[in-house]
Structure 1
């Protein structure tokens, strides 16, 4: 018999259009407050030394920003946390600048641009900011990157019986790449997953590896603008999960994963 995957959710970090952090966004997801979309405000990562803070790109800022939010309300020390970083394409602005440099007469690429071009750059900056020697996993599964990251993180939580910080993030591309990959804004989410059974501040999530994949359509958001956000930014495919966690009770949800193949999870959200 296949073993179910269980994890508690002890903390959430969030950055997106009109979504500044979990406590501000939770009433919106619960239907108790209006959502006012505006350009995502991505703060500089305060935990990085000044030199690295200047050099890092927006993908790193988004990943570390949601990580710092989540850990500000959690008891787990960041230097001991295993992490899973997942993104559909990394730093779109940096990719554009490298392509522009290669298309110029000079064709010189700065070392900073080069080392920010790899998908695991945010994981490297995370290790600098925290001094951690804990394992970090970096994934990319195109539009299915959030679901792939969630599956990986929950597997690690259960197999290793230790907390894991899941970080999912995406950034926009300038033109002309935007025309082919129209991600409109930056979005990031962090979930601090803990072994279950046990206490969890926000809720619990269960996944059956043997039957979680389905051809049913992914759940959508009731608000038309929020649904457009979910559909246009791969990391925002987490929104049905966040809606479920904002309300008390048990909910079965279907998350967008791959074309024609979605992922079902069960969410048990704590009552306020």
Structure 2
């Protein structure tokens, strides 16, 4: 794979205790964290009623997506988007499995539509009025890297800018034994082919387990979440430069280099 490149125009971030990229960056650089922080995301994109009903994974995805677009000063409706999640909405999946096993006639159609893997992408495109392509990607531990590759490939083939959103939530029930994930985590990047912003370059290389280092402040803060593989890159972004190796599949890693111009 040749080198793929982009400019990072905007960043969004949310996890419990660090509910913004400003808070996350401050923690990564100084160890400080907000004395008081929101315990759940509250995306302004959704009306109040929808905000209360939306799954946490949808809420965090929309929260960070809008934050990244605002930081980039981009109209959300103008951007193609890539949504990456390891497991999607595990709490609703657990509910559906239990209901189908015990009382299948009582399955809620309202909850069912939130179980699909592209639920967050659907809420986003409807809420913003976006008519651009929206992809939903899952690749287990490689979900973030594969989402990043997809976004960078779209830039390489002509898109002016692309929104990448990555998120995962809490695993519950028996699924937690085979698909573990704790807490709630979301991150988003607006990537552009040209312009101002931090430079990012990525390339695939053979897997090297010894190079998988996750000891940065953000990597440790939300280490048990299924989307934690993205956190080393956010640790590097907080510093403004550096190189990181992300798991990209059974045989490959993605080397990502971040530089200031």
Residue 199 of structure 2 is aligned to residue 204 of structure 1: yes
TM-score, normalization by structure 2: 0.89
CA RMSD of aligned residues (A): 2.5
SS of residue paired to 2:136: strand
2:14 and 2:187 in contact (8 A); partners too: yes
* Displacement of 1:225: 8.4
SS of residue paired to 2:183: coil
- Mapped to 2, the partners of 1:184 and 1:109 lie a distance apart of 26
- Mapped to 2, the partners of 1:234 and 1:67 lie a distance apart of 18
Per-residue deviation, residues 22-69 of structure 1 (Å, max 9, x unmatched): 111112223x22468999833232212345334421221111011122
* Structure 2 stretches lacking a partner, 5+ long: none
SS of residue paired to 2:113: helix
| Greater mean alpha carbon deviation, residues 217-226 or residues 131-140 | 217-226
TM-score, normalization by structure 1: 0.86
SS of residue paired to 2:66: helix
In the other structure, the counterpart of 2:249 is 258
* Displacement of 1:167: 0.3
Residue in structure 2 matching 1:154, options 152, 155, 159: 152
* Structure 1 stretches lacking a partner, 5+ long: none
1:146 and 1:234 in contact (8 A); partners too: no
2:165 and 2:186 in contact (8 A); partners too: yes
Q: 1:153 to 1:225 in 2, by over 3 A?
A: closer
In the other structure, the counterpart of 1:221 is 214
SS of residue paired to 2:11: strand
Residue 230 of structure 2 is aligned to residue 238 of structure 1: yes
Count the aligned residue pairs.
260
- 5 Å-filtered alignment, 1:24-173, equals 24-30=23-29, 32-34=30-32, 41-105=39-103, 107-173=105-171
